[in-house]
């Protein structure tokens, strides 16, 4: 069973967070690490944000508040008189975060923004919300303490990957979170590990990203409905496929690959990728998925070297499909139906 409460959604952490990073900010009273020394990428619910700033001071990372809560679908307002951000969550929880404050209020109750460990004892930290250049920053732990989100921070060389996603309700029916996988056939020329049976999608996409996200988790076993790790388990940093929502105004999906297969001559766990890719294409393009699969399968090598179909627009099943090379990966954008 996938333990969804431990999953951080987001965005490719294999070679491929698609080479994007966020701006490093310098807040008043803080000497932030320069962009050349440290880069930050912020991922929320499987979406890599490109409009968020971050900095680090005394080992505490602070992240711009507004872009994150907006990406979560929460409402945020700014009270200039009190220098306070007022966030109304979807469940009507009211969170107030004031500049230069080390606590937030959640429905009127004070909650510490950040903690630290002294002699193996966790105690409140004096880290505060910081206002700089008209932006409010909070310690990254505040997204967990005050907002109830799940937070993970991982190092990738000189870059830090900050993954923030909505925690799942542990009290929901466990059966609803258990993937119901139906087996497909090993009919592709890619040798997969013994006894592995490719999952088979039986539904078709809706025009709602989150509904699709739930279906892909249940039927294809994608981690948090977004990631495929060919090694098994829920480590999204090993994922080779990510399903995001691309441009929210125009796209229903952005399917990103950091590899297409492992070997054409021997058994390899990465040889599962074309099977999963085909099923994801089928989910969004039930009539024309094979056309897209053949284009990708014939055009990509294992390490994604190709130029045959990049930046070309196709029309399948009433949707526009565009394939782009982004950083270390290839992304396929599938539009909403008009």
- pLDDT of res. 118: 73
Question: Could you tell me the pLDDT band of residue 123, with boundaries at 50, 70 and 90?
Answer: low
Say which DSSP state 39 is in: E
- Spatial distance between the Cα atoms of 322 and 333, rounded to a whole number of angstroms: 5
Q: Which residues contact 233 (CB under 8 A, 6 or more apart)?
A: none
Mean of the pLDDT values across residues 153-167?
A: 80
Mean of the pLDDT values across residues 34-58?
A: 75
Tokens of 27: 């807040």
Mean of the pLDDT values across residues 87-92?
A: 92
Q: For residue 279, give the 3-state DSSP assignment.
A: helix
Select the highest-mean-pLDDT range: 7-16, 120-129, 201-210.
201-210
Question: Could you tell me the pLDDT band of residue 268, with boundaries at 50, 70 and 90?
Answer: very high
Q: Which residues contact 130 (CB under 8 A, 6 or more apart)?
A: 27, 28, 29, 30, 62, 99, 100, 136, 137, 138
List C-alpha distances in Å: 273 to 76, 99, 202, 230, 242: 40, 46, 18, 7, 11
Inform me whether the pLDDT recorded for 214 exceeds 80.
yes
Give one DSSP letter per residue of 112-172, joined into a string.
ES-EEEETTEEEE-----EEETTEEEEETTHHHHTT-EEEEEEEETTEEEEEEEEPP-TTS
Mean of the pLDDT values across residues 126-147?
A: 91
- pLDDT of res. 183: 66
Burial of 315 (0-12, 13-18, 19+ CB in 10 A): exposed
Mean of the pLDDT values across residues 83-103?
A: 94
Mean of the pLDDT values across residues 271-292?
A: 95
Percent of the chain with pLDDT over 90: 42
Tokens of 252: 């229903």
- pLDDT of res. 155: 76
**Residue pLDDT, tens place only, 231-265:** 988 888 889 999 998 888 899 999 999 889 998 88
- Per the CB < 8 A criterion, the answer to whether 159 and 38 are in contact is yes
- pLDDT of res. 9: 39
- pLDDT of res. 146: 93
Ranges of CATH 3.30.457.10 domains, the chain: 4-166
- pLDDT of res. 85: 95
Least confident of 62-76, 141-155, 161-175, 319-333: 161-175
- pLDDT of res. 308: 67
- CATH number given to 4-166: 3.30.457.10
Mean of the pLDDT values across residues 295-322?
A: 80
| Radius of gyration over every alpha carbon of the chain, rounded to an integer in angstroms | 21
- pLDDT of res. 38: 53
Distance of alpha carbon 126 from the chain centroid:
30
- Spatial distance between the Cα atoms of 116 and 122, rounded to a whole number of angstroms: 6
Inform me whether the pLDDT recorded for 178 exceeds 70.
no
Better-predicted residue by pLDDT, 327 or 36: 327
């Amino acid at each position: 069973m996938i333990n969804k409460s431990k999953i951080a959604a987001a965005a490719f952490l294999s070679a491929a967070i698609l080479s994007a990073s966020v701006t490093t900010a310098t807040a008043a009273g803080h000497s932030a690490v320069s962009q050349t020394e440290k880069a930050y990428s912020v991922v929320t619910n499987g979406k890599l944000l490109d409009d968020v700033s971050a900095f680090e001071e005394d080992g505490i990372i602070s992240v711009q508040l507004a872009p994150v809560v907006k990406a979560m679908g929460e409402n945020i307002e700014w009270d200039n008189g009190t220098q306070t951000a007022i966030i109304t969550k979807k469940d009507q929880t009211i969170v107030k975060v004031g500049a230069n404050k080390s606590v937030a209020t959640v429905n009127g109750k004070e909650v510490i923004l950040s903690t630290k460990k002294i002699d193996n004892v966790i105690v409140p930290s004096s880290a505060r919300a910081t206002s700089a250049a008209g932006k409010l920053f909070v310690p990254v732990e505040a997204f967990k303490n005050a907002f109830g989100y799940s937070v993970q921070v991982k190092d990738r060389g000189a870059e830090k990957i900050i993954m923030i996603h909505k925690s799942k309700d542990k009290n929901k029916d466990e059966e609803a979170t258990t993937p119901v996988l139906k087996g497909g056939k090993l009919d592709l020329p890619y040798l997969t590990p013994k006894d592995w049976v490719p999952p088979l999608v039986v539904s078709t996409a809706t025009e709602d990203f989150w509904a699709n996200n739930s279906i892909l988790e249940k039927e294809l076993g994608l981690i948090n409905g977004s990631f495929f790790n060919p090694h098994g388990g829920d480590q999204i940093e090993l994922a080779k496929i990510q399903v995001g929502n691309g441009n929210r105004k125009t796209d229903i999906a952005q399917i990103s690959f950091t590899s297409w297969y492992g070997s054409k001559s021997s058994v390899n766990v990465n040889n599962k990728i074309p099977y999963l890719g085909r099923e994801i294409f089928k989910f969004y393009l039930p009539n024309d998925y094979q056309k897209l699969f053949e284009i990708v399968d014939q055009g990509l090598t294992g390490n994604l070297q190709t130029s045959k179909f990049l930046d070309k627009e196709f029309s399948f099943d009433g949707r526009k499909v565009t394939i782009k090379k982004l950083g270390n990966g290839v992304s396929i954008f599938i539009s909403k139906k008009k």
